[in-house]
Structures are given as C-alpha cells and as structure tokens.
Amino acid sequence: MELDRSKRLKNLNNAFQINPARLAEMQRYHRVAIVDDVVTTGSTVGEICKLLRQIGVEEIEIYCLCRASRG
C-alpha cells in the first residue's frame, strides 16, 4: 500500500523512540549514520533525524540504496 506524503507523515508521528535505558549511552554520539534501503519521501529519515537532534547529535549522514524519483 502506497501512502502519499501527508499520510506517511501522519503514520510516522511518534513511531520512533530512544530506549530510556540507553539514553545516556546514545548521548555520547555526536555523529551518526542512518542506513535505509529506499528513501521515498524522506519522511522516515526525517523523523529519525528529529529524534537524534533532540538528544544532541550534531551530524547525521543518510546512506540509502535507492532514492525514489519525485517526477
């Protein structure tokens, strides 16, 4: 089932969280890489980036195998 951008964003709302037991460990990292097989709208990596920024990650790199075309 394909979702348009607005439905994808709504679907991802609060979909990710950091395990509180590992928060102190995670806060040590200032540079993080996210690996995703396919980036379609960017919604998933965008939500993960927001979460990582909240805990102090300064640099985030995104690696993906495919990027969906917008046209």
For 46-67, what is each residue's pLDDT tens digit? Answer: 989 999 999 999 999 999 998 8
pTM of the predicted structure, to 2 decimals? 0.76
Alpha helices (H) along 1-71 = 5-12, 23-26, 43-54
- pLDDT at res. 34: 94
Whether the Cβ atoms of residue 34 and residue 63 lie closer than 8 Å to each other:
yes
Q: Report how many helices (DSSP H) and strands (DSSP E) the chain contains, helices first.
A: 3, 2
Residue type for position 66: C
User: What percent of the chain has pLDDT above 90?
Assistant: 32
- pLDDT at res. 39: 86
